[in-house]
Structure 1
Amino acid sequence: MELRDRDELTDLAARLGRWLDGKHFDDPRAVFTEDAEVTTPGGTSRGADALAAQARRNHTVPTQHFVTNPLIEIDGDRAGIGANLLVVFAHEGGPRVVGERYDLRAARTPDGWRIAGVRSTVVWELPAA
């Protein structure tokens, strides 16, 4: 079971990036728990609808999120995922590239693993040209 959980949690971290890049903000529960809390450089929000609104505000241009090197710790129906994040914001005047560290908390739900918490820390940034 643990290998399957690890695969599902790795996919969950990748789905977060795809959710953001695809601007699927109308469907936060496909990735997040109802009471998820998110703290990123774009702000802090709690609850699926509030964090979707925060993502919508902060992702107005095309983006591409690369989530890599996940390190997963499972404790029953809870898990922690540490990962590297490289995100490109495709501004008209030139791309903004940010290197971040993701610390995700996940919870097993009847619908599978969902993200219960996100903490994103900027490590470096190349501002738009």
Structure 2
Amino acid sequence: MQIARKILIFAGLNGAIAAGLAAVGAHALPASIPEADIAMFTMATQFHLFHALALLGLAALAHNTAGTRHLMIPVWLFQAGVLAFSGSLYVRVVFGPGSLGAFHWITPLGGLALIAGWLSLLALKREN
């Protein structure tokens, strides 16, 4: 049950941050930001929120399943993916093109982490 509580904390924090940033995107971004960047920011908040919900599902699974240590693999992949993918898009929109500098590769790496998180669910086995 301890793992379920930790995952629930990740889900709650990610959900709150995603909802807050969605509100920023809808109401507080400067009018001078191009439409494409607003769409990018919206996509980042959607991916962020979808993966907060995925974490919520993992918390429920951890609560109802014995032997949950393997559930932390998708949790960490989702968390890393959200930070890298959505986080880099947030930075790109707020600070402009080229703001990631030599770290421009972080966005696709984050996307790969999200995909790996989903694929890692296929490897989960119910441990009794």
TM-score normalised over the length of structure 2: 0.33
- Higher strand fraction (1 or 2): 1
TM-score normalised over the length of structure 1: 0.33
Greater relative contact order, per chain length (Cα 8 Å cut-off, separation 6+): 2
- Higher helix fraction (1 or 2): 2
Higher radius of gyration, 1 or 2: 2
